[in-house]
Structure 1
Amino acid sequence: MTLTTTSFDWVRQLVHRESAIVLAPGKEYLVEARLLPIARSMGLPDVGQLVDSVRTRPSPESTRKIVEALTTNETSWFRDGDPFTALTSTVLPSLLSARGAAERLQIWSAACSSGQEPYTIAMLLEDAMPNASTRVAITATDLSREMVERTRAGRFSQLEVNRGLPAAMLVRHFTRAGTEWQVSPSLRRMVTASECNLAAPLPRMGPFDVVYLRNVLIYFDLPTKQAILRRVRALMRPDGWLFLGAAETTLGVDDSWERVVIGRSSAYRPLKGN
């Protein structure tokens, strides 16, 4: 372990200031593991010297690399299953009946990681409705520039497609690209990827019919959760739907949402008048 308490505290403060992510005491091992590759790429022998270098000669690029390295990019296809079943069983029919035939459905996959979530949504909608590539716009955002670039590329390794992607969907929506798999052009037309820090003022987007903000709020303190939910609500249609992670809820955090049970899943809708 090369990370002193002072260096760890500096990293914690940097990450919280830049992304609002809370690194609790005891995460020194995580900081070491995530930052060591950056140190070595800069020709430094350990993380302690990396921190010293960035503290004395800070730059936007070195700061970005540290913050991005300490964000969690765990993802898979159809992760947790039920929120995607709810999309096609309940949410999509409700939206199609409420919208005009010419209206585009707008969906936001926040903290999209390497793109499995937005492309899961795109596959489901392409299979469920005609002309989905022209009727649906999926905005995929992430704090990490690398993850945004990967989402734009729409290429996945064999190991990645093995994590939850049904074989029939792989055959229907992907083509071989060397040792990787490339999503179809129609799916890529539906998905637009960009960088977005959820803990900062959000860019002009939407208004969204559906927002997937899953397994993100757990990394923030209560005031940041409240601020994020408030900003997200401002970008949603009044009858929109919000999906959170299985361990997340608006209850006790922001009372301006109504919880709706859909099968084994739950969604949240803005309460009228809020």
Structure 2
Amino acid sequence: MNGAQFKKIADLLYRDSGIVLSEAKRSLLVARLNKRLRTLNMADYGAYCDRLEGPDGVEERRHLLSALTTNVTAFFREMHHFTSLTEEVLPPMILEARRGRRLRLWSAACSSGEEPYSIAMTLLDAFPEAPQHDILILATDIDPLMVDRARQGRYGPEALQAVAAARRDKYFARAEGGFEARPALRHCMRFGELNLHDAWPFAGKFDVIFCRNAAIYFDTPSRQRLWHRFGQALVPGGSLYVGHSERLDGPACPYFETAGTTHYRRNAQPIPALPA
């Protein structure tokens, strides 16, 4: 892969997703894409660059994203977030739901689904009658392959090691090769492909947003724009949970207050629209 080919692929990736691929990542790119070239029976990266901009380019760029995004996740990863959700965030939300208010939670980079299923288990433990109320957990990811895996809700025994056996058996049924999420767990969940860099196809606001270890792929302007958009998407008092190595920065900061470790709460200040 020569410099011009690397730049073309990096520019396409940034244009499509906001993900920054520095020159230092060229060897990683080659390692991740070699298998794809073999699958396509392509001899070199010149032909691959042509494909990215050809008639099959849109579909191929989805494969490129799948190859380059690192889907590291686990059930109840960063447990302090779920403790916060249980002890601080959900109790007032549950009272409001019982009074008839709709509740919306969003796992905005759901990967293979462990995070939104962890949110759903936490919610159902605290509020078993949640399916009888207007509650939705939205789970989205830029990678369609990951969204499909999440939607299936099937996991091997090793993936569920972090889940206590009683909780696991309550929410998952034994299936070939491991476990499958029970209908009661899926009831409040919806899965979809979504690029955080693009327009978001919903107008309603969220009470809780988890977006952990996604902004680390973005450059500073794209990351700060994402924080601002999350601020616009949250109700006053709503919670934003970010990754362990991430911190809110930029123009969105005045609209959030620190509520815990990598947990931010949206304050009541009106947040202006982003400039065009």
Give the direction of change, closer, same or farther, for the CA distance of 1:44–1:184 in structure 2 (3 Å limit).
Answer: same
Whole-Å Cα distance in 1 between the matches of residues 127 and 97 of structure 2?
14
SS in 2 for 1:192: strand
Q: 1:267 aligns with which of 254, 264, 267?
A: 264
Match of 2:237 in 1: 239
Whole-Å Cα distance in 1 between the matches of residues 21 and 164 of structure 2?
35
Amino acid at match of 1:234: Q
Q: 1:253: Cα distance to partner?
A: 5.0
Whole-Å Cα distance in 1 between the matches of residues 94 and 177 of structure 2?
39
Q: 2:191 aligns with which of 193, 199, 209?
A: 193
Whole-Å Cα distance in 2 between the matches of residues 50 and 173 of structure 1?
47
Whole-Å Cα distance in 2 between the matches of residues 182 and 224 of structure 1?
36
SS in 2 for 1:14: helix
Judge which range, 231-240 or 74-83, deviates more.
Answer: 231-240
Whole-Å Cα distance in 2 between the matches of residues 199 and 55 of structure 1?
19
Q: 1:129 aligns with which of 127, 130, 135?
A: 127
Q: 1:6: Cα distance to partner?
A: 1.9
Match of 2:274 in 1: none
Q: Is this contact kept in 2: 1:126–1:132, CA < 8 A?
A: yes
Q: 1:98: Cα distance to partner?
A: 4.6
In structure 2, runs of 5+ residues without a counterpart are 272-276
Amino acid at match of 1:170: R
Whole-Å Cα distance in 2 between the matches of residues 213 and 268 of structure 1?
14
Q: 1:267: Cα distance to partner?
A: 2.3
Q: 1:171: Cα distance to partner?
A: 1.8
Give the direction of change, closer, same or farther, for the CA distance of 1:178–1:205 in structure 2 (3 Å limit).
Answer: farther
Whole-Å Cα distance in 1 between the matches of residues 52 and 195 of structure 2?
23
Whole-Å Cα distance in 2 between the matches of residues 98 and 255 of structure 1?
27
The 5 A counterparts of 1:5-20 are 5-20=3-18
SS in 2 for 1:226: helix
Match of 1:158 in 2: 157
Deviations 1:64-106 (A, max 9, x none): 2112321221111111111111000100113234555222321
Match of 1:119 in 2: 117
TM-score, normalised on structure 1? 0.90
Whole-Å Cα distance in 1 between the matches of residues 106 and 267 of structure 2?
16
Q: 1:58: Cα distance to partner?
A: 4.8
Deviations 1:139-181 (A, max 9, x none): 001111111111111111233223x333332222111111131
Give the direction of change, closer, same or farther, for the CA distance of 1:261–1:10 in structure 2 (3 Å limit).
Answer: same
SS in 2 for 1:215: coil
Establish whether residue 31 from structure 1 lines up as the match of residue 5 from structure 2.
Answer: no
Q: Is this contact kept in 1: 2:231–2:252, CA < 8 A?
A: no
SS in 1 for 2:24: coil
Whole-Å Cα distance in 1 between the matches of residues 180 and 52 of structure 2?
41
Judge which range, 172-181 or 153-162, deviates more.
Answer: 153-162
Q: 1:45: Cα distance to partner?
A: 4.7
Match of 2:102 in 1: 104
In structure 1, runs of 5+ residues without a counterpart are none
Q: 1:255: Cα distance to partner?
A: 2.4
Establish whether residue 219 from structure 1 lines up as the match of residue 217 from structure 2.
Answer: yes
Q: 1:214: Cα distance to partner?
A: 1.1
Q: 1:66 aligns with which of 58, 64, 67?
A: 64
Q: Is this contact kept in 2: 1:134–1:190, CA < 8 A?
A: no
Give the direction of change, closer, same or farther, for the CA distance of 1:253–1:32 in structure 2 (3 Å limit).
Answer: farther
Name the % identity.
Answer: 35
Deviations 1:8-60 (A, max 9, x none): 111111110100001112112221222222212212356x2552442563521
Whole-Å Cα distance in 1 between the matches of residues 203 and 183 of structure 2?
23
Match of 2:202 in 1: 204
